[in-house]
Structures are given as structure tokens and as C-alpha cells.
Chains A and B, each alone.
Chain A
Amino acid sequence: RKEVEQDPGPFNVPEGATVAFNCTYSNSASQSFFWYRQDCRKEPKLLMSVYSSGNEDGRFTAQLNRASQYISLLIRDSKLSDSATYLCVVNQSGGSNYKLTFGKGTLLTVNP
């Protein structure tokens, strides 16, 4: 099983649609989780952290299920500017084992 696995996509949705991305991780010792966004030919940038109780930032909602080792990102009322690749990221920390592992990403295209 890959360390971090995401929906392969691509997702093509109309403006205003709600879209959800899923991600699973293999290491139960993972301690923190993120969603990053990467625009075409740009570097990845943090979209939001994912907290155990779930968290929301405007139109974006992230959820974590530690028992199932599953992370999700929900985008409501999608905008053209949401078109990008969304990367699920898992951070192992503690002792000397500290690294960010990225999923391969899911490409989202929001159409007018």
C-alpha cells in the first residue's frame, strides 16, 4: 500500500458545484495532515491543515478519520480559480522520523 493515496481524478465540474477529494494513508503513527494546492507549473502551497475534529475555512472543509486513516477535502460553490491540483500531505514526526509525504495529487478543473 502506498504511503499516501489519493483519488486519481481528474475532476471536471461546473462553477458552483460541490466537489470532494479523498485520501488514505498507510502509517498509523502519522501525526499531522494537510491539503496543499499546486497551480500549473508552480510550487505547492498550503491550502489548509487538517485537524482531528475537522475544520472549515470558507468554502473548504477538511476532515480526518484516524481509525480509517482517511482524510477528505470538500469544496463548496466551486470557482474557476479553484482549478488546480490538490495534494494530500501526511507528516510523521517524533524522534528522527520527520518528513512530509505527498500524495500524487488530484487535478480539478472548474468550468464556466
Chain B
Amino acid sequence: DAGVIQSPRHEVTEMGQEVTLRCKPISGHNSLFWYRQTMMRGLELLIYFNNNVPIDDSGMPEDRFSAKMPNASFSTLKIQPSEPRDSAVYFCASSTRRTNTEAFFGQGTRLTVV
């Protein structure tokens, strides 16, 4: 299994531009999580999906952030317009929806907004 696949690995963009991060979860996993990691705030859960349905998006910082999961094998996190304070590492993770289940992380997208 290839694991959770994220793209791009690195993204540098100018303030005001739209940024789209992509994630392919592990086949058969029905929960998908988007996290953001910064030195100051650690790993923050932005949103998670169960069976492609968004369950909790209370961690999404503001309306500039949106996430979709059109099917079981693909999810996107979009920031529009991007701001310098959005600079962080964004991780996608997937797991099966059972109580004591490991979540597998992708390698992350390192986003820099200048």
C-alpha cells in the first residue's frame, strides 16, 4: 500500500492567491482528517470526514478555508485568498472508523505564503 499521498509536498505562493492541497487516503479507510501544524499551535484538527461526509469543521479557521471529499479516494483543502499567517505544514490522515484505530499520516504539504 502506498500510504496516504499528499500533493504538493511544498508550495510557495503569494498572498491573495488560491492554494489547493490534495490528499489520497489509504484505500478502504473511511475517515479522513486534515491537520495544520505550526510551532506555536502544534497539530490542530481542521476538519474530518466519515464516509466522505464532513462531520466536524469547527477547526477551520475562517471562511477562506474550505475542504471537500467528492469520493472515497480524494480530498482537497482550499485556501482562498491565502495570507502569510496560513504558512504551516498541512497534514492529511486517514483511518478506519473503529475505536482503537491508528491514523496514518501523509508526508504533509509545507505551505509558505509570502
B95 contacts across to A, CB distance below 8 A: 100
For residue A68, CB closer than 8 A to chain B, the reply is no
B56–A97 contact, CB under 8 A? yes
- Give the Cβ gap from B34 to chain A, nearest Cβ, in Å: 11
Q: At the interface, is chain B mostly helix, strand, loop or mixed?
A: strand
Q: Please name the residue on chain B nearest to A3 by beta carbon.
A: B45
Q: Which residues of B contact A31 (CB under 8 A)?
A: 99-100
Per the 8 Å Cβ criterion, residues 70-112 of A in contact with B are: 87, 91, 93, 96-105
Is there a chain A Cβ closer than 8 Å to B43's Cβ? yes
Known: A45-B105, A98-B55. A32 touches B99 (CB 8 A): yes
When distances are taken between beta carbons in the complex, the residues of chain B under 8 Å from A34 are 102
B42 touches A102 (CB 8 A): yes
Check if B108 sits within 8 Å of A43, measured CB to CB.
yes
For residue A42, which residues in chain B have a CB less than 8 angstroms away from its CB?
107
Task: List CB contacts (< 8 Å) of B55-84 with chain A.
Answer: 55-56
Interface size class of B (residues with CB under 8 A): 20 to 34
CA distance A45 to B102 in the complex (A): 9
Residues of B within 8 A of A46 (CB): 102-103
Asked if A98 meets B107 with Cβ closer than 8 Å, knowing A31-B99, A87-B43, A104-B42, the reply is no
A78 to B63, CA, bound (A): 45
The 0/1 profile, CB within 8 Å of A marked 1, for residues 30-64 of chain B is: 01010100000111010010100001100000000
Give residues of chain B (6-42) contacting chain A, Cβ–Cβ below 8 Å: 31, 33, 35, 41-42
Taking beta carbons and an 8 Å cutoff, which residues of A are in contact with B?
31-32, 34, 42-46, 49, 87, 91, 93, 96-105
Q: 30 interchain pairs (CB within 8 A)?
A: A31-B99, A31-B100, A32-B101, A42-B107, A43-B91, A43-B108, A44-B91, A44-B105, A46-B102, A87-B43, A91-B100, A91-B101, A93-B97, A97-B56, A98-B31, A98-B50, A98-B55, A98-B97, A99-B33, A99-B45, A99-B56, A100-B33, A100-B93, A100-B103, A101-B45, A102-B35, A102-B42, A102-B43, A103-B42, A104-B43
